[in-house]
Amino acid sequence: MHIRRLPLAAASGAALLAAGLLPASASGTSRPPGVQEGSVSAADLLAKVTSCSQISNGMYRTDEAASPTVPVCGKNGAVFWKADLDIDCDGQRTDRCNEYTDPSFQPDTAFHQSDGRPLRSDTLPYVVVPGVSDIWDHSAAGIEGGGVVAVIHHDQVLYAVVGDTGPRSVIGEASYAAAETLGIDPDPATGGAASGVTYILFEDSRVSPIESHSAAVSLGEQLAEEFIQDN
């Protein structure tokens, strides 16, 4: 793992965007700065994660060479962490994600689409969770493939799914599409954000099918509202 559809003939870019199957840039429409999916604001979510009740047995690194500084924190109905955003470009080979664009490319993801194929990182916003270790076991915490994640960057809220697993000691990674939607450089070799990204993962949630971004937004908004009410 990286440290770090409908056929076009059958539907217009606008229809694909509305269905959540393409990011805005792929449809030919630029997302405005400060994109917010749903009605829950970044400020309202961030107000609930100002302090950390640590549930991880130790800290994670943001990169292999970095010192471990990032805990996994617990809240009612969710876990969260604050880290960087490295670009995951694994999964289906595309023009933007392949062995030539990504020096760490892997042709698979830990979790798969409803048709059994790997996820497509350049069109599906997803988050990478650390592999199970003595530091933290995401499965034991109710975080599974297809679970909903609110990703917050500045005043932007993006709802994504848990789509892949990464190194056991590193945290802070999301798909090409997630970065692009948030206005972060999605280049798998040189892009990403060095800091300032908050990940809120809602426990025991699941988007079906996992590849439906519109379903992630719908469920994510509901869970975000409950999260604010319960914390």
- pLDDT one digit per residue (tens) for the chain, 231 residues: 444 432 323 333 333 333 343 443 333 333 444 567 878 999 999 999 999 999 999 999 999 999 999 999 999 999 999 999 999 999 999 999 999 999 999 999 999 999 999 999 999 999 999 999 999 999 999 999 999 999 999 999 999 999 999 999 999 999 999 999 999 999 999 999 999 999 999 999 999 999 999 999 999 999 999 999 999
| C-alpha–C-alpha distance, residues 30 and 92, integer Å | 24
CATH topology of domain 13-230: Barwin-like endoglucanases (2.40.40)
Burial of 160 (C-beta count, 10 Å sphere; 0-12/13-18/19+): buried
Q: How far is CA 30 from the centre of its chain?
A: 20
Residue 14's pLDDT is what?
A: 35
Q: Please, what's the b/e burial string for 37-67 (b: 16 or more CB within 10 A of its CB; e: otherwise)?
A: bbebebeebbebbeebeeebeebbbbbeeee
pTM of the model: 0.86
